[in-house]
Amino acid sequence: MAHVFRLPDIGEGLDEAEIVEWFVAIGDVVVRDQALVEVLTDKASSELPSPVAGTVLSLGAAEGAHLRVGEVLIEIDDGSETANAGVRRPPPAAGSVGDPVSGSTPRPSGTQRSATTARPKAAPATRRLALQSGIDLNTVTGTGPAGRITADDVRNAETPVPASGPKPSTRLASRPVDAGSQPLSSTLGQMPSGRHPLRGLRGVVARNMVQAWTEIPHIHTMDELDASLLVDFRIRVRSMDRPGAAQVTPLAIAAVAAARALRRFPVVNGHVEGHPGDAIVIPEEINLGIAAATGRGLVVPVVHNAGTLDLFTMAERIASLVAAARAGDLTTADLAGATFTITNYGSLGGRFATPIIPPGQGAILGLGAIAERPVAVEGEVLARPTLPVVLGADHRLIDGDLAETFRRAVVDDLIEPLHLLIEA
């Protein structure tokens, strides 16, 4: 009997998803709960499992196409004896390619997955890295939870995909881009000549940036602070024997300073609703978006209820979210609800920038690289570690006096971070 599986609502009330990658093709035999497809909604990739075991009859849309919640995703013959003479196969979704009935191109014989072959546990980004690197995931031992294969497992593997196996993907490998901790990916900035559809995570980023830049009138205020006490504070805190101490970074310290300033100045935690503007919305909670660069593009996981967290809990939350972002394991909930964003382009070596405020927010804090630079101290020029700081603000909501005052509050706590261990 033909089982029609429709695109479910996978969270946050989103009404459509993009088909990123099919893991099956027409004629494939699948088992219940086997991953069928990777879909993208609001920057979060999700794998959808098969609700039944059986043989794939049709795919509802091609990779790169968008489906709305409730539209046909896939049709599977579950092999039951129930009469289905009156069942009509759904028409292919718009934009489908290949077979006119199924809306997909069947794989050549010999490439179908058997129902007895267990699919390795790995995030979509890890699978792409394996394909790009020519690594067969079936030969890799996972060191993650429940045997899940991590990106590091793939990088440490040396077994190539057999010549008869699938060819390496031409997609970019999903590796973190962090000049301060590891070499840049060899795929950074690489793309073959020609026309490429703007889709997937890059398409989402493009749409969000256009909306932010065209709807929000930006103003920016900048400073560069003496980070001598900040660096010393970080070294001392990381030597403590307590949970979260090892994860304390300048980013985590700045996040606590920002949350403290947002409690003092709730307007900066708000945003203007509508375009050009119908109302000012001041949220009850402080939810910090933490911009993270990955091989697939920029993602912004969210530390929820950041205004209630101490330094050590904040450090643990940020470390966990950034690791999940770079592994491609974020959920839609992890990316939703930010009220203020921090972007640490200093981890890439940058000094000053003018960051763009995400849609639905009123301000963004940018952090440059801490480095020794000349500083005037009591009439003498000395080499001191300094931290460049930039605040971007929506001028519909935040005037220059508030922007300067807020930035100054953050800077004061970074100059003397012991403030952050004292209740505001």
Q: Is the pLDDT of residue 109 over 70?
A: no
Q: Provide the pLDDT confidence category of residue 13 given band limits of 50, 70 and 90.
A: low
Q: Are 289 and 265 in contact (CB under 8 A)?
A: no
Q: Say if residue 376 is exposed, middle or buried (CB neighbours under 10 Å; 0-12, 13-18, 19+).
A: exposed
Catalytic residue among 218, 220, 395, 419: 395
- DSSP-derived secondary structure letter, 286: -
- Which residues does 58 contact at the CB level (< 8 Å), separation at least 6? 26, 74, 75, 89, 90, 92, 99, 101, 102, 103, 104
Which residue ranges make up each domain of the chain?
2-117, 120-174, 202-421
- Which residues does 282 contact at the CB level (< 8 Å), separation at least 6? 266, 267, 269, 270
Mean pLDDT of 391-395: 97
92 or 140, which is more confident:
140
395 included as an active-site residue: yes
pLDDT in tens, 168-203: 333 333 333 333 344 456 667 788 888 988 887 788
Closest CA to 348 of 188, 201, 156: 188
9 or 303, which is more confident:
303
Q: Are 237 and 311 in contact (CB under 8 A)?
A: yes
Please tell me whether residue 218 adopts helix, strand or coil conformation: strand
Classified by CATH at the fold level, domain 2-117 comes out as OB fold (Dihydrolipoamide Acetyltransferase, E2P) (2.40.50)
In the sheet that holds 16-22, the strands lie side by side as 44-49, 35-41, 16-22, 66-68
Q: Are 223 and 414 in contact (CB under 8 A)?
A: no
pLDDT in tens, 300-318: 999 999 999 999 999 999 9
Q: Are 330 and 299 in contact (CB under 8 A)?
A: yes
CATH class name, domain 120-174: few secondary structures
CATH class name, domain 202-421: alpha beta
Q: How high does pLDDT run on average in the chain?
A: 81
> How far apart are the C-alpha atoms of 395 and 23, rounded to whole Å?
46
